[in-house]
Amino acid sequence: MNLLLRFFCLPIFLCLGFLCLGQAANAALNVFACEPEWGALAAELGGKNVNITIATTAQQDPHQIQARPSLIAKVRNANLVVCTGAELEVGWLPVLLQRGANPRVQPGQLGFLRQRISCNYWVCQND
Amino acid sequence: MSIYRSTFMKKSFVVAVSLAATFPAVAAETANNAFNPALSLILSGQASYFSKNPSSYSIPGFVLGDEAELGDEGLALSESEITLSSNVDDQFYGQFTVSIAPNNETSVEEAYLQTLDLPSGLTVRFGRLKSGIGYLNSQHAHTWDFTDAPLAYRALLNNQFADDGVRFTWLAPTDIFLELGSELFRGDAFPAANADHHGAGAYTVYGHMGGDVGVSHAWQAGLSHLEAHAQDREASELIFSGDNQINVADFVWKWSSNGNPKDRYFKFQAEYLWGSERGHYTDLGNIDVSHSGWYAQIVYQFIPRWRLGVRYDVVHSDLPSASFYGSVLDPAGVNSHRLSAMLDFSNSEFSRLRLQLNRDESSSEASNQVFLQYQMSLGAHGAHSF
């Protein structure tokens, strides 16, 4: 996990950098993190330049979460969505993205980051 | 595992991660297309028992659409459903759902496209779609907590209101969820009918709000309005031309310990539908009548995989006028209501077995109903909608 975290710092850092360029100097970026670890990482990298919403807590199974109205509202205002991927959030993240009406954080955009592309066996073995 | 293979895998892993680091956006896009389009199949069926012959089912005071029937007694398939969905490109998302009835009749349930990149929280969906009114209406029936639709949905919306049309929604940029929507429909689905010459025979406006209370509670509430025009609509062997207005107020409240619905959760859900029908029934005369209905239900997952639910529902219609005496539109003094209880077991997110008991007093004669149902989902992972 440490290795992955280290590798994942760079894309988050790059995205935060690019997105900050497009923001007014004093406006903080809204980061929507699917799990607490990505929230912590974004906080470490972004400092006071980011407002972080964390969708799940450590007491929750992040796979079983529902696409609650509050989460849809948060995605609507996000500049960056950072998630694990590998189908961990497959039940709710696509619903949030579809109903969140936010073109900045759609797959393929700079504001959408997923750590793992798909859970084929070698990636999962390296968890 | 051979040494060669594990070295290869390590290398691929490093390459993949470096690629993701260098081109994060591109990597994410590839991922989105990896299973493109997502394909899922719903297999469903049940054994049903009715103490009263289901083919003579009616709700006094209401004409019923073609879907609003009880189904067959004995062992029978329910609708099988195939869904294909995918992002078309960066601007559109598409979904296609075809259902095959047990009598081999195929029907297109939904076939729509939705925009992904409109600014300011706007979204447009067009094609054939389930209307966003109420709470249950936009959900696929296999995700409902009970085997059958509430009486109010059965009597007023032919189980579910869906038609060809276009929907506009706006999501407010607020921390509290607020979504406003409006739809324009062709007008060929009950309670509308035969609107071909007008182009648009039904429209809706609705709003939904929702949020969290602490970590463990979440809620959603909504208000909707449907207006439907019918031209020579045939239902329950009566021909009607005129207008239907239906309003829906819906409320859902969910609790789960620490917001983690995996172990235990509780869900309360209620909807109130009221409206009117104005127009003319052939051979019976002019009509201007109001009707209403509501249901309330609770579902409790008391241990992982096992849920218990209870539902109570009611519908009511006024007697239009003396000329309707003795017709299906005559409520005949029946106070239509039903009590249902269900117990279901979900071995995984993909399978569900359910036992449901109804004490149905919606007709003049009370009926006991028992359903033992299976619902299995093959393929793409289903959505955890609220």
Burial class for A47, CB neighbours closer than 10 Å (0-12, 13-18, 19+): exposed
Which chain B residues have a beta carbon less than 8 Å from that of A108? 25-26, 28-29, 32, 90
The DSSP secondary-structure symbol of A30 reads E
Residue B288 has pLDDT above 60, yes or no: yes
Residue A105 has pLDDT above 80, yes or no: yes
Q: Does domain B50-74+116-379 have CATH number 1.20.90.10?
A: no
For residues B286-313, average pLDDT: 96
Q: Which of B17, B40, B269 to mutate to probe the A interface, most A CBs <10 Å?
A: B17
Please check whether residue A5 is in contact with residue B19, taking contact to mean a CB–CB distance below 8 angstroms.
no
ipTM of this complex prediction, to 2 decimal places: 0.87
More confident residue, A121 or A110: A110
What distance in Å separates the CA atoms of residue B112 and residue B94, rounded to the nearest whole number? 6
Cβ distance of A11 and B173 shorter than 8 Å: no
Tell which residue, B77, B90, B82, has the closest CA to residue B44. Answer: B77
Closest CA–CA distance from residue B213 to any residue of chain A (Å): 10
Cβ distance of A117 and B20 shorter than 8 Å: yes
Closest CA–CA distance from residue A91 to any residue of chain B (Å): 4
Please check whether residue A116 is in contact with residue A125, taking contact to mean a CB–CB distance below 8 angstroms.
no
* pLDDT above 90 coverage of chain B, percent: 77
What distance in Å separates the CA atoms of residue B53 and residue B48, rounded to the nearest whole number? 12
Q: Is the dihedral of CA B1, B5, B7, B8 positive or negative?
A: negative
Q: Count the alpha carbons within 13 Å of B163 in the hemisphere toward its beta carbon.
A: 29
Residue B31 has pLDDT above 70, yes or no: no
For residue A20, the model assigns a pLDDT of 58
Which chain A residues have a beta carbon less than 8 Å from that of B24? 11, 14-15, 110, 113
For residue B199, the model assigns a pLDDT of 62
Per the rule left: phi > 0, alpha: psi between -120 and 50, beta: everything else, B214 is left
For residue B35, the model assigns a pLDDT of 53
Tell which residue, B198, B192, B39, B180, has the closest CA to residue B123. Answer: B180
Domain carrying residue A60: 2-21+29-125
Computed over every residue of chain B, the mean pLDDT equals 89
Q: Of A64, A108, A123, which is closest to B25 when you measure between CB atoms?
A: A108
Q: Of B9, B27, B262, which is closest to A117 when you measure between CB atoms?
A: B27
Please check whether residue A50 is in contact with residue B344, taking contact to mean a CB–CB distance below 8 angstroms.
no
Q: Of A87, A90, A108, which is closest to B90 when you measure between CB atoms?
A: A108
Cβ distance of A107 and B87 shorter than 8 Å: yes
In three-state secondary structure terms, A35 is coil
In three-state secondary structure terms, A46 is helix
Residues in chain A: 127
In three-state secondary structure terms, A109 is coil
pLDDT digits (tens, 9 = 90+) for A19-74: 655 555 557 899 999 999 999 999 999 989 999 999 999 999 999 999 999 999 99
A vs B, Cβ pairs < 8 A, gives 158
How many other C-beta atoms are found inside a 10 Å radius of the C-beta of residue B368? Answer: 12
By CA distance, what is A84's nearest residue in B? B28
Which chain B residues have a beta carbon less than 8 Å from that of A8? 20-21
Strand A50-54 versus strand A29-33 pairing type: parallel
Give B72-77's long-range contacts (Cβ < 8 A, gap of 24+): B72/B48, B72/B102, B73/B48, B73/B49, B74/B47, B74/B48, B75/B45, B75/B46, B75/B47, B76/B45, B76/B46, B76/B47, B76/B48, B76/B102, B77/B44, B77/B45, B77/B102
Q: Of A8, A66, A123, which is closest to B384 when you measure between CB atoms?
A: A66
Residues 85-114 of A with CB under 8 A from B: 85, 87, 90-92, 94-95, 98-103, 106-110, 112-114
Which chain A residues have a beta carbon less than 8 Å from that of B212? 68, 70
Tell which residue, A109, A31, A104, A4, has the closest CA to residue B24. Answer: A109
Q: Which CATH number do you get for residue A38?
A: 3.40.50.1980
Strand order in the sheet with A50-54: A50-54, A29-33, A80-85, A112-116
Per the rule left: phi > 0, alpha: psi between -120 and 50, beta: everything else, B164 is beta
Q: Of B18, B177, B219, which is closest to A72 when you measure between CB atoms?
A: B177
CA-based radius of gyration for chain B: 23
Lowest mean pLDDT among B193-202, B270-279, B360-369: B193-202
Cβ distance of B90 and A10 shorter than 8 Å: no
Token pair for A60? 């929750």
Cβ distance of A109 and B90 shorter than 8 Å: yes
- A65 touching B, CB under 8 A? yes
Residue B196 has pLDDT above 70, yes or no: no
Domain ranges of chain B: 1-32, 50-74+116-379
Q: How confident is the model at residue B55 (pLDDT cuts 50, 70, 90)?
A: confident
How many other C-beta atoms are found inside a 10 Å radius of the C-beta of residue B302? Answer: 11
pLDDT digits (tens, 9 = 90+) for B116-173: 999 999 999 999 999 999 999 999 999 999 999 999 999 999 999 999 999 999 999 9
Closest CA–CA distance from residue B1 to any residue of chain A (Å): 12
For residue B167, the model assigns a pLDDT of 97
For residue A117, the model assigns a pLDDT of 57
Per the rule left: phi > 0, alpha: psi between -120 and 50, beta: everything else, B191 is alpha
For residues B61-67, average pLDDT: 92
Count structural domains, chain A.
Answer: 1
For residues B74-82, average pLDDT: 94
